[in-house]
Copies of this chain bind each other. A is one copy, B any other.
Amino acid sequence: MRASTYPLVDADEAAALVLERTPVLPAEEVALSEAAGRVLAQDMQAPSALPAFPSSAVDGFAARSADAGKGLRIVGESAAGRPFMGKLEPGTAARILTGGAVPDGADTVVMVEDVSLNGEVVTVPSTLQPGANFHRPGADVRAGELVLTAGTQLGAAELGLAAALGFPRLRLYMRPRVALMSTGDELVEVGMEPGPGQIVDSNRWALLAALREAGAEVTSLGIAPDERKALSAVVAAALDAADVLVTSGGVSVGTHDLVKPLLESLGTVHIGRVKLKPGKPFTFATIPAQRTGGHSPSHLRGEGRGGEVQERLAFGLPGFPVSSLVTFEVFVRPALRKLQGFSKLQRPTLPVRLGYDARATADRTEYQRVTLTRHGSEMVAQTTGSQSSSRLLSLVGAHALVRIAPGDHGVKAGTVVEAMILALP
């Protein structure tokens, strides 16, 4: 039992330091079917216009506006995918269906409701507007237009646009590969009966979900061996095929801590303690990529453009369940988003009115878990109850995290603060 030798780092400085050491991963080609939720690695310009041809917005008749008021001979039909290929001469019209190409010669489309039909002759209204009732080429997207920028996350509309512009594959940032494990002599696997003094490993399941939600590809390494050499071998092998190591547990002073010495032996521990509540034992290290992996994809991926070997990131999260998830939110999630090229790294925030007196901790930034309720046009934040770092129920159903700066004063009920939104009510 000894005091930690690591200096206590300010929470905001620690978050900035983590992002400074976090690179952006290389790009790869991805098929549209696998691209949802991922991030574009280069700007997208339209190779051609949308629509590419004048396309009817209604069912009716393609005509020449100069023929207003006349009876026109129907010379054909233009349906979606089955265009009328000829040119429309004066005194003629073509049936046209929604999505059908407006034939050469025509400059307007008349809705079927507005005409009178007599056999193969259609009489059109006495005033016709050129350009009416059809989409002009380039009306939606001009050829060469910048439609999406690098760093954009691809949702339904973006993927539809990419397909419409003829891109079957896209250049996207790689997703971070994360090796995840729990440490602690007290842990047993879920489904096993805990013995005296033992508890079920829960952090790994919580972090697995949080990591996947944040876009990571996760390899679960289970509960770490509690013997230093075995652990070191497991971690070194995992890091050969991963960009990031995430552990939970075993970083408090006095716990049978294997993690900090392990990270020290593999690389550089930049942060060993943080002025954060919950989450004081948070640990962050970088580990040089191994050159021993031969031609594994991870090896290639670990090399920058100039061939220099890049670093792996290692996050040692505290063992208490709430501490591990709060430090995930504050430090790990923004890093995972930077790795995969997101232009926006942080959770969105909204102003909320505190519905309780939030006490501050003298020397640590505190992230309190709250639920949100609409009162008129405002959001009111209520505490989720006891904020004990072991009490997962303080996070269950939480809509937001409220940051309380260190000090003696806290924040009084009724004050409007900016809350980090986890989920809207």
Residues of A in contact with B (beta carbons under 8 Å apart) = 1, 32-33, 35-37, 50-53, 55, 57, 59, 78-83, 85, 95, 97-101, 112, 135, 139-141, 147-148, 152, 154-168, 184-187, 190-191, 194, 196-210, 212-213, 220, 252-256, 319, 321, 325, 328, 348, 350-351, 377, 386, 388, 390-393, 395-398, 416, 421, 423-425
Tell me, rounded to whole Å, the shortest Cβ–Cβ distance linking A196 to chain B: 5
Tell me, rounded to whole Å, the shortest Cβ–Cβ distance linking A115 to chain B: 10
Tell me, rounded to whole Å, the shortest Cβ–Cβ distance linking A344 to chain B: 9
B213 touches A191 (CB 8 A): no
Chain B residues near A252 (CB, 8 Å)? Answer: 59, 98
Additional pairs, 5, CB under 8 Å, beyond known A162-B205, A163-B190, A163-B202:
A1-B59, A32-B205, A52-B199, A139-B388, A140-B390
B147 touches A396 (CB 8 A): yes
**Secondary structure at chain A's binding surface: helix, strand, loop or mixed?**
loop
Chain B residues near A186 (CB, 8 Å)? Answer: 80-82, 99
A393 touches B100 (CB 8 A): no
Residue of B nearest to A226 (CB): B81
Chain B residues near A220 (CB, 8 Å)? Answer: 33
B1 touches A209 (CB 8 A): no
Chain B residues near A161 (CB, 8 Å)? Answer: 202, 392-393, 396
Chain B residues near A398 (CB, 8 Å)? Answer: 157
Residue of B nearest to A152 (CB): B397
Residue of B nearest to A391 (CB): B140
Chain B residues near A162 (CB, 8 Å)? Answer: 202, 205
A112 touches B1 (CB 8 A): yes
A163 touches B205 (CB 8 A): yes
B147 touches A112 (CB 8 A): no
B80 touches A202 (CB 8 A): no
Residue of B nearest to A209 (CB): B36
Tell me, rounded to whole Å, the shortest Cβ–Cβ distance linking A380 to chain B: 13
Chain B residues near A78 (CB, 8 Å)? Answer: 197
Chain B residues near A51 (CB, 8 Å)? Answer: 199, 390
B325 touches A210 (CB 8 A): no
B80 touches A197 (CB 8 A): yes
Chain B residues near A206 (CB, 8 Å)? Answer: 156-157, 159-160, 163
Q: A163-B190, A396-B147 are in contact. Are A155 and B213 (CB under 8 A)?
A: yes
Q: A390-B51, A396-B148 are in contact. Are A196 and B101 (CB under 8 A)?
A: yes
Chain B residues near A421 (CB, 8 Å)? Answer: 424
6 nearest A-B pairs in the assembled complex, by CB-CB distance: A81-B186, A160-B206, A59-B254, A83-B197, A81-B185, A348-B424
Q: How far is the CA of A425 from the CA of B424 in the complex (A)?
A: 13
Q: How far is the CA of A179 from the CA of B281 in the complex (A)?
A: 49
Q: How far is the CA of A328 from the CA of B351 in the complex (A)?
A: 30
Pick from B55, B135, B198, B416: contact of A81, CB below 8 A.
B198
Q: How far is the CA of A156 from the CA of B208 in the complex (A)?
A: 8
Tell me, rounded to whole Å, the shortest Cβ–Cβ distance linking A289 to chain B: 28
Chain B residues near A204 (CB, 8 Å)? Answer: 163
Tell me, rounded to whole Å, the shortest Cβ–Cβ distance linking A109 to chain B: 12
A156 touches B209 (CB 8 A): yes
A210 touches B81 (CB 8 A): no
